[in-house]
């Protein structure tokens, strides 16, 4: 991304991913960038019987990010535009 669109766009995308993850999870959870384009979520007071919740939140965040709406807003094509 940085090589194609520049660091400013890459920074905006990282901010959008972080914002999307923060909105998808609870305010007591921690969204952390652990390097490059990798993020980790530390979920407080979770139990294994709530695995479906974690999977649903991640799927919803991925769907929102993959929709391409934000890429078009920033003046760039989404991956879907190339099909």
- The pLDDT of residue 75: 46
For residue range 20-51, list pLDDT tens digits in order. Answer: 999 999 999 999 999 888 999 999 988 888 88
**pLDDT at residue 76 in the model:** 45
Specify the pLDDT at position 5: 82
Contact 29, 43 (CB under 8 A): yes
Domains of the chain, earliest start first? 2-75 (3.30.70.270)
pLDDT number for residue 51: 82
The tens digit of pLDDT for each residue in 5-23 reads: 888 998 998 999 999 999 9
Tell me: pLDDT of 74 over 60: no
C-alpha to C-alpha distances, 6 to 1, 3, 10, 30, 34, nearest whole angstrom: 7, 6, 6, 28, 21
């Amino acid at each position: 991304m940085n090589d194609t669109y520049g660091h400013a766009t890459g920074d905006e995308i990282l901010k959008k991913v972080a914002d999307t993850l923060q909105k998808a999870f609870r305010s007591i959870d921690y969204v952390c960038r652990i390097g490059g384009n990798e993020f980790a979520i530390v979920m407080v007071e979770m139990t294994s019987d709530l695995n479906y919740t974690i999977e649903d939140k991640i799927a919803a965040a991925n769907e929102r990010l993959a929709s391409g709406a934000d890429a078009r807003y920033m003046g760039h094509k989404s991956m879907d535009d190339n099909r």
